[in-house]
């Protein structure tokens, strides 16, 4: 069954289904037909196997291929145009050329939105770099606890000069934050030409005790001479340090997105394919949210993480290193409830028990929590409409067995431990589970991947894919140009990022606001769910309008940042993990 081939039967829970015998036979056949096959791209969740599982993957690949054909056509046209522009310019001769020649008036077909305001012009600002941690990639950031052992000391006197207090004071007052990418030192590096280099940076950030601005304090490379850079270094040295950090940070963003959106959702959904009838209301919703969901890992194996493929050609850590990351992170970061938005942010010290953040502005949390709340509201209505009491949900033997299956069969970590007759899953638990499912395939996926990188978090020259000259062993660098990708590699890189963009989704009702805007789906669901779907859409349209209206204020800031945060626009991002 392909994702779009939804059953025509109205949704019903098993105990109300008049065709209970046919239904039981269908569930049994689906259980036998969907098997747990080996994980792809590292050891994470199982990948579909068995007669039905294989058909499922083929169907998802067929759907994905249509989009791929469309975006490839667009990228192809854009690459021709940009090659002409580079030739006309006589190559890329300065750092400024990377921002201008590679972007201005380019990528019109594959990224008609262009780059986001400020990201190309303000990248030397420290505030841009630090606020990216609270918007474009909030996942590796955490607050340093007062009892934590610090991984390094900032050279003497610098913290005091920048912040007015000592590093110890910053730490004990809860104003010190860290992003630690030192693990990337261990991951296998590419050997494909051109030779690439890079660090495995650890960075400190802080909330300024007086201004409350969130700013960078220091970056340690952890390789070679293991230099520690700070804003007190020369502007070129400090900029280079931030660019070295960006190489590591983008790797983290991309590999984590695979782990916490694709791998998690596939594991949970595969268990549902085995335990829920196709007309189970929960199955109908999961099918909608998993459109072409199983294409991504096959595509990844075939086109991205294949030995010598795009990844090895463009980045520093190679395809083997990518797999190492996924295998290591899956048992922890892949945990289901651990990933719930507020739980995750609270565990990392980015919000408190009341859901308040210590930052002047936390753009990712601002938009993500609105999306999550709308999803929660929708699923509350949905769950309560199909399960008017706890007894009814306890009596849904398909649903309860799915919960058990997610842990015992699909081996997804940290899924709610319920589903037995002694401990049935409640409506509240199901609501949270579905909310998180909807959230990871939309907000989480597109916070990190999809259309954002080409327009924001992966724009050259600041956001390097890899370094093309060795990590310096001394300071006082005079020229950053040698560290940047050669023109052909830069075009390949941007073109590669463009293939993840889906600019034609807003005109085909495939954005987040349209998650439940599908007449064939909604005609099979009850009235309350239809009403909730209308509310969901209105709420997402409201957020989209707000995001689209963002501008710089008189201080040149938007949400406290020198660039515009548009990443989670519900009228742009897909409601499913499209690629
Ligand atoms: Fe993805």
Rounded Cα gap, residues 537 and 446, in angstroms: 18
Query: How large is the average pLDDT for residues 275-290?
Result: 98
pLDDT in tens, 116-143: 999 999 999 999 999 999 999 999 999 9
Q: State if pTM tops 0.85.
A: yes
pLDDT of 6: 44
Question: Which residues touch 440 (CB under 8 Å, ≥6 apart)?
Answer: 260, 261, 264, 265, 339
Owning domain of residue 504: 19-470+498-548
What CATH number corresponds to the domain at position 213? 1.20.245.10
Three-state SS at 396: coil
Q: Is residue 81 part of a domain?
A: yes
Listing DSSP states for 209-244 in one string gives TTT--EEEEEEE--STT--EE-TTS-HHHHHHHHHH
Extract the tokens encoding 14: 């098993």
Rounded Cα gap, residues 358 and 100, in angstroms: 36
CA of 258 to the centre of ligand 1 (A): 6
Query: How large is the average pLDDT for residues 37-47?
Result: 98
Taking a 5 Å cut-off on Cβ, the residues next to ion ligand 1 are 449
Q: Is residue 180 part of a domain?
A: yes
Mean pLDDT in the chain?
97
Q: Is residue 355 part of a domain?
A: yes
Extract the tokens encoding 229: 């850079």
CA of 319 to the centre of ligand 1 (A): 16
CA of 137 to the centre of ligand 1 (A): 15
Q: Is residue 521 part of a domain?
A: yes
pLDDT in tens, 548-562: 999 999 999 999 999
Q: Is residue 479 part of a domain?
A: no
Dihedral sign (CA 309, 315, 321, 326)? negative
Q: Is residue 578 part of a domain?
A: no
Q: How far is CA 496 from the centre of its chain?
A: 17
pLDDT in tens, 347-366: 999 999 999 999 999 999 99
DSSP 304: I
Q: Is residue 554 part of a domain?
A: no
pLDDT in tens, 314-331: 999 999 999 999 999 999
CA of 317 to the centre of ligand 1 (A): 18
Task: Report the number of distinct structural domains present in the chain.
Answer: 1
Contact 346, 528 (CB under 8 A): no
CA of 52 to the centre of ligand 1 (A): 23
Q: What number of other Cβ atoms are within 10 A of residue 523's Cβ? A: 10
CA of 261 to the centre of ligand 1 (A): 8
- According to DSSP, the β-strands at 47-49 and 176-180 are unpaired
Q: Is residue 458 part of a domain?
A: yes
């Amino acid at each position: 069954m392909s994702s779009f081939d939804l059953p025509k039967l109205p949704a019903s829970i098993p105990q109300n289904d008049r065709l209970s015998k046919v239904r039981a036979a269908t569930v049994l056949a689906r259980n036998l037909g969907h098997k747990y096959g080996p994980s792809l791209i590292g050891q994470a969740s199982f990948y579909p196997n068995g007669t039905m599982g294989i058909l499922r993957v083929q169907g998802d690949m067929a759907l994905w291929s249509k989009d791929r054909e469309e975006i490839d056509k667009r990228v192809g046209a854009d690459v021709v145009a940009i090659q002409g522009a580079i030739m006309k310019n006589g190559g890329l001769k300065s750092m400024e050329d990377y921002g201008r020649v590679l972007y201005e008036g380019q990528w019109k077909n594959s990224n008609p939105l262009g780059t986001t305001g400020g990201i190309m012009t303000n990248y030397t600002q420290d505030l841009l770099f630090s606020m990216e941690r609270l918007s474009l990639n909030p996942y590796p950031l955490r607050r340093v606890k007062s009892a934590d052992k610090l991984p390094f000391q900032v050279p003497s006197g610098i913290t005091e000069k920048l912040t007015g207090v000592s590093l110890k004071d910053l730490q004990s007052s809860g104003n010190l934050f860290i992003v630690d990418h030192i693990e990337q030192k261990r991951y296998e590096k590419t050997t494909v030409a051109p030779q690439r280099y890079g660090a495995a940076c650890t960075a400190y950030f802080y909330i300024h005790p007086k201004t409350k601005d969130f700013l960078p304090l220091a970056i340690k490379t952890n390789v070679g001479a293991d230099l520690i850079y700070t804003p007190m270094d020369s502007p070129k040295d400090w900029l280079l340090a931030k660019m070295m950090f960006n190489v590591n940070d983008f790797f983290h963003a991309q590999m984590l997105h695979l782990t916490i959106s694709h791998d998690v959702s596939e594991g949970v959904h595969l268990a549902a394919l085995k335990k829920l009838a196709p007309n189970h209301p929960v199955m109908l919703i999961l099918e909608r949210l998993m459109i072409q969901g199983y294409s991504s890992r096959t595509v990844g194996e075939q086109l991205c993480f294949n030995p010598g493929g795009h990844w090895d050609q463009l980045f520093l850590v190679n395809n083997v290193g990518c797999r190492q990351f996924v295998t290591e992170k899956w048992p922890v970061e892949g945990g289901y409830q651990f990933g719930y938005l507020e739980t995750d942010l609270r565990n990392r010290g980015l919000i408190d028990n009341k859901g308040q953040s210590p930052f002047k502005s936390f753009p990712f949390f601002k938009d993500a929590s609105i999306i999550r709340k709308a999803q929660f509201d929708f699923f509350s209505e949905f769950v309560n409409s199909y399960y008017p009491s706890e007894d009814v949900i306890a009596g849904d033997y398909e649903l309860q067995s799915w919960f058990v299956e997610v842990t015992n069969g699909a081996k997804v970590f940290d899924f709610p431990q319920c589903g037995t007759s002694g401990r049935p899953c409640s409506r509240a638990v199901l609501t949270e589970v579905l909310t998180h499912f909807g959230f990871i395939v939309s907000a989480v996926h597109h916070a990190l991947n999809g259309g954002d990188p080409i327009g924001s978090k992966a724009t050259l020259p600041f956001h390097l894919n890899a370094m093309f000259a060795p990590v310096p062993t001394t300071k006082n660098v005079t020229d950053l140009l040698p560290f940047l990708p050669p023109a052909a590699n830069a075009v390949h890189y941007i073109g590669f990022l463009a293939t993840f963009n889906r600019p034609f989704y807003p005109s085909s009702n495939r954005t987040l606001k349209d998650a439940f805007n599908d007449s064939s789906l909604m005609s099979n669901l009850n009235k309350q769910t239809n009403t909730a779907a209308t509310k969901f859409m209105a709420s997402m349209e409201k957020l989209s309008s707000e995001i689209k209206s963002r501008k710089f204020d008189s201080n040149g800031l938007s949400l406290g940042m020198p660039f515009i945060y548009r990443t989670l626009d519900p009228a742009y991002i897909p409601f499913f993990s499209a690629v």
